[in-house]
Chains A and B, each alone.
Chain A
Amino acid sequence: MAKLGPVDDWATDFDVMDEAYILDPFPIWDELRETCPIAHTKRRGETWLLTSYEDVTKAAHDIGHFSSLEVGVIAPEEVDEEPILPYGLPPISSDPPLHTWTRRLLLPWFSHAKVASYETMTRELCRRLIDGMVEDGYGDAAAGYAQQIPVRVIARILGVPDTLSDTFTEWVRDVLEFADDKEKSQEGWDGILEFMVTQLEQAKSNPQEDLISQLVHTEHEGAPIEDTIVLGIAGLVMIAGIDTTWSAIGSSLWHLATHPEDVARLVAEPELMDSAVEEFLRAYAPVTMARVVTTDTEFQGCPMHEGDKVLMNFPAANRDPAAFENADEVILDRAQNRHVAFGSGIHRCAGSNLARMELKVAIEEWLARFPAFSLAEGAEVTWAGGQVRGPRSVPVVFS
């Protein structure tokens, strides 16, 4: 896709892939909420951007007008050929009734009990990664730590050998971070699909304990689940469970690297960890999700047409001063925090328990070994964004 020029007017011509937006979206959201809380653009098709807590949660609950058949913030290019996954990645890319039963199949994989069973491996993984940094005397909290954690937990759920984890990371990066680069994102999809199809075929004759194996041998309304739905659900776990969580871990560590007073407080008051994790999720929520308008409608005074895209900006909702006191401040012991980092309504992130566990364990283990750390002098912090915002490089030094 052709590069689009920088944005001059955020209310009428916004672009979530704009470099300035990816680097520092907060003042843009603040201005939009004050002047034009539902922005519009014709870049990449007719699209609306919701920035207030009220509008975002309202749209998330209005599944009649706002369908999940397209949830990517950037519309995929039209193709003539039949899609390999005609249902996309259910339940995220579906409406009821498909959403309802596929979600029910997926949720038990992320129950509290199941998530607790991954905690020890997550903690050990964090410690190994930190050991390597201690030896080196410096590290990259994003590339060398945050990005290394969720992929291996998801790999376990999908029955992927550890040796393939790096390849997995590349595929997911290609798909999610290069949405603008068709060739690269296609490469990622090809890799993921090929791996999963092999898993699926093996699971039919030789089922293991992994998600694909279990789904292949589960029935819905008396019939086996279609292969394309099994592949869609497994693909979702991979796409939704990796760069989202590494972005949250990376943003949290970036915050701590730039706010020594919060590091000191968390070290001195570890009982604040749970509320701190929720506050990091609020302040640095990574994920914006899209919906497609099902029928011409007026939403909060805006004339939306069938087929328009609507971006539910959960990160902006979480910074809305109408919903949160001192919304732009990170307050580790914030008592009332109805943040929507994991969405709102029937599509609440199915993996939220897992993400929380990984984020908490990653921060705990980090602070246990690095009770004082900061950005490396002259370090260049880089960010990715669009659908999922988070830092990709956070060079730090330990004191």
Chain B
Amino acid sequence: MRIQVDAEKCQGHARCFALAPEVFDVDDYGQSSAKNGGVVPSGLEDKVRLAIDNCPEYAISEIPE
């Protein structure tokens, strides 16, 4: 599973960071980014799907294989 965070859409709600801190990083301005080039470590897929489903700005998306 590979994901990306749209920096233009992200407004720093930080819901992704709360749900999956292993996968997302948030800077001091609230900007979220995907760690590890967006590659989700195996076993964390469900958490990441939860993060996608809870982003109020629809800023996170899965990159098709």
Contact = CB atoms under 8 A, between A and B. Distances in A.
B57 interface: yes
Interface residues of A, number: 23
Interface in B6-49: 11-15, 17-18, 26-30
Given A342-B13, A346-B11, A348-B12, A104 B29 contact: yes
B29 A107 contact: yes
Interface stretch (A157-165, A219-227, A330-338): A330-338
Contacts of B53: 335-336, 338
Contacts of B50: 335
B56 A113 contact: no
B54 interface: yes
Given A107-B28, A107-B30, A113-B28, A352 B54 contact: no
Given A113-B28, A274-B18, A348 B54 contact: no
B57 A344 contact: yes
A108 B12 CA distance: 12
A352 B15 CA distance: 10
Contacts of B12: 107, 348, 352
A57 B56 CA distance: 9
Given A107-B12, A112-B26, A113-B28, A336 B17 contact: no
Interface of A: 57, 104, 107-108, 111-113, 274, 278, 335-340, 342, 344-346, 348, 352-353, 356
Given A108-B28, A111-B28, 18 more contacts: A107-B30, A111-B26, A112-B14, A112-B26, A113-B28, A274-B18, A335-B50, A336-B54, A337-B54, A338-B55, A338-B56, A338-B58, A344-B11, A344-B56, A344-B57, A345-B11, A345-B57, A353-B14
